[in-house]
Amino acid sequence: MLLIIGASILLWLGALMANLLRIDFALFQYFDASRIFGILRPAFSFYSDWGSFIFYAFFIVLLAYGIRKKHALFRMIGLGYIYAQVAGTILLVDLIKFGCGRPRPSLLSAGDSFCPAPSFAHALHSFPSSHAVNAAVGACFVLLLVRSRAVAFFALGATLLMAFSRVAAGDHYTSDVLAGLALGAAITGITMRFYLLPRWQNIESVPAAPPVPAH
């Protein structure tokens, strides 16, 4: 839990520095002018559109299995993931997008203003990256719940590739995806602290049913 909180703080600092030091615009101009990234842009766009379904599918299957088999822990984890996505990545992130109104990188004529004015226009919803938030929530849930180094590396790799793809495809600035990763980590930490851990402890405190004697 402390690791996730620390990671969220560092990512927020990284997003701030990327904006203040104009790394945002330097990287966008580099990717936009690069011939190689121009060729690969459709692949990055495809992954950024569909990559999050790796986590969606995993936790939906986990929830369905928990409901079908009446497995309280699996059902609770699946619901916790859905709650984190709905309350955090949908409601919170959309509110920030509307309130900030940051132009996407393709709108070069919009100037350097970070959050010029509230807006409902999709082209002015660059900050933060909801794709990065989605992927970060999924990866953090996996890291906290699955004790497998291979699975952990896969989850982290999928999330970092998502963040990179959003920048390489020209849909977001670096600070947008770093802030998205930070938000995803924070949302997961809050969900774990106030939803999952209390219920997990209740499940573990329930005494096991005595064995049925053989006749």
| pLDDT tens string 152-162 | 999 999 999 99
Q: CA 170, CA 152: separation in Å to the nearest integer? A: 28
Residue 213 within a domain: no
Asked if the structure places residue 182 within a domain, the reply is yes
- Residue 214 domain-assigned? no
Task: Answer whether residue 215 is part of any domain.
Answer: no
**Helix H or strand E segment including 135:** helix 130-145
**Of 87 and 61, which is predicted with more confidence?**
61
Tell me what pLDDT residue 213 has.
56
- Per the structure, how many domains does the chain have? 1
Q: What is the domain-level CATH number for residue 187? A: 1.20.144
CB 65 within 8 A of CB 133: no
Dihedral of CA atoms 107, 108, 110, 113 in degrees, nearest 10, equals: 110
Task: Tell me the per-residue pLDDT of 39-49, one tens digit each, with 9 for 90 and over.
Answer: 999 999 999 99
CB-hemisphere CA count at 13 Å for 54?
Answer: 22
For residues 199-210, one letter each, b for 16 or more C-beta atoms within 10 angstroms of the residue's C-beta and e for the rest, the string is: ebeeeeeeeeee
Q: Tell whether 209 is covered by a domain.
A: no
Number of neighbouring beta carbons within 10 Å of residue 70: 8
Cβ–Cβ under 8 Å, residues 140 and 159: no
CA-closest candidate to residue 163, choices 133, 127, 138, 124: 133
pLDDT digits (tens, 9 = 90+) for 141-196: 998 888 888 999 999 999 999 999 999 999 999 999 999 999 999 999 899 888 88
Is 212's pLDDT higher than 80? no
The answer as to whether 136 is a domain residue is yes
Instruction: Look up the domain containing 191 and give its range.
Output: 2-106+114-204
The C-alpha angle with vertex 81 and arms to 44 and 5, in degrees rounded to 5, equals 80
C-alpha to C-alpha distance for 84 and 95, rounded to whole angstroms: 15
Decide if 211 is inside a domain: no
Residue 35, burial from CB neighbour count under 10 angstroms (0-12, 13-18, 19+) = exposed
Written as one string, the DSSP assignment of 70-85 is T-HHHHHHHHHHHHII
For residue 107, pLDDT over 90 is answered with no
- Give a yes or no: residue 35 inside a domain: yes
